[in-house]
Amino acid sequence: MRVAYQGEPGAYSEDAVLQVFPDGEPMPCETVRLVFSRVTSGEAAFGVVPLENSQAGSVNQTYDLLLHTSLVSIVGEVVVPVDHALLGLPGARLEDIKRVYSHPQALAQSEEFLASLRVEVVPVHDTAGAARMVAEAGRPEDAAVASVEAGTQRGLSVLAERIQTYPDNFTKFAVIGTEDPGLGQPDKTSLVFAVADRPGSLVGALQAFADRGINLTKLESRPRRGAPFEYVFYVDLETAADRDEVAEALGEVRTHTSMLRVLGSYPAYRPQA
C-alpha cells in the first residue's frame, strides 16, 4: 500500500507515515499539493500531510487544500516529535557557516538559534531535501536544518543538536484519503465554515455547539481565497460527526453560515504508553 507524503526519505513526514502505516510503502512527493493529487488519482491509497506545529502554528497550504479538495477527507492524525539539528559537511565548523537551508517551518522553529549565528536563511521545500542539497553542493559554508537521521543518510555531520527555540516541539499530521483506513473509532471532527454577512453570525454558529455541550479544541480564521478580506473558520470538535447532537448543531450552524463543510471525522491521536 502506497502512502504519499511531502518530502524526501528521512523527512519528518516519512516518520509520520511509518507511525500510522508501519507496513506501508512511503511515496515521496515534492509538494503538499502533489500529495493530494496522488491520493485523488488513486496512485496512493492515503496521504500524510503536515497540519500544525506546536511552535510555528498551522500549515496554511494544507488547510487551503482541504477546503478546496472535496474528493478526500481527513481520516486520521498523528503527532511526531521534531528535533532539529544543524547539519554540515564533514569537517565544517559552526563559526564558518554562512547559509542555512531548510523548510520555512523548520527555519521558524529554529529562529532564535539561527539569529545568533548571523547567517543567511534560505527556505526550501523540505528538511531532508535541504540536507541533500548541502551534501550535493559540497560547500563547507552551507548547512541545513533537518533531523539527525536525514544527515546520517546523506553523510553530513551534526554541528549542533536540538536547535529549536522550544525543546518540546511537535508537528501534527493529517492522514487524508477517500476511504476508511481502519485506524479506530472516530471521536474527533474537523470542519470549516464561512459565516453569513450579518451581526451575530459567528456567535450564533459557535453557540450551537455550546448549547449541546460539544467541546471545541480548535478555532482559527483564515482568509477566504477569491474573496478579499473575508474569512473562513476552521473548527475541531471533540466528538464524532455521526452523533445526534452534532447533526443537530450542524443544522443550526447552517442557518448562520454561507458555507459549511465537514473535513473529516476520525480517531484523535493518542500517544502510546
**Do 72 and 174 touch, CB atoms closer than 8 A?**
no
Q: Which domains does the chain have, with CATH numbers?
A: 2-81+169-177 (3.40.190.10), 85-161 (3.40.190.10), 188-266 (3.30.70.260)
| Sheet of strand 142-146, all strands in order from the earlier edge strand to the far edge | 120-123, 99-102, 142-146, 85-88, 157-161
193 classed as catalytic: no
DSSP state of 249: H
Record the pTM: 0.90
pLDDT tens column, 166-201: 888 999 999 999 999 999 999 999 999 999 889 999
- The one catalytic residue in 36, 46, 173, 233 is 173
In angstroms, the CA 228 to CA 58 distance is 20
Residue range 43-60: mean pLDDT, rounded? 93
173 classed as catalytic: yes
* pLDDT score, position 167: 86
- The one catalytic residue in 36, 46, 62, 171 is 171
- H/E segment holding residue 192: strand 188-195
Res. 160: pLDDT tops 70: yes
Side-chain half-sphere exposure of 85, counting CA atoms within 13 A: 19
Res. 273: pLDDT tops 70: no
* pLDDT score, position 1: 96
pLDDT tens column, 218-268: 999 998 877 787 899 999 999 999 999 999 999 999 999 999 999 999 999
Residue 113 CA from chain centroid, whole number: 23
Length of the chain, please?
273
pLDDT tens column, 6-32: 999 999 999 999 999 999 999 999 999
Residue 226 CA from chain centroid, whole number: 23
The SS3 assignment for 107 reads helix
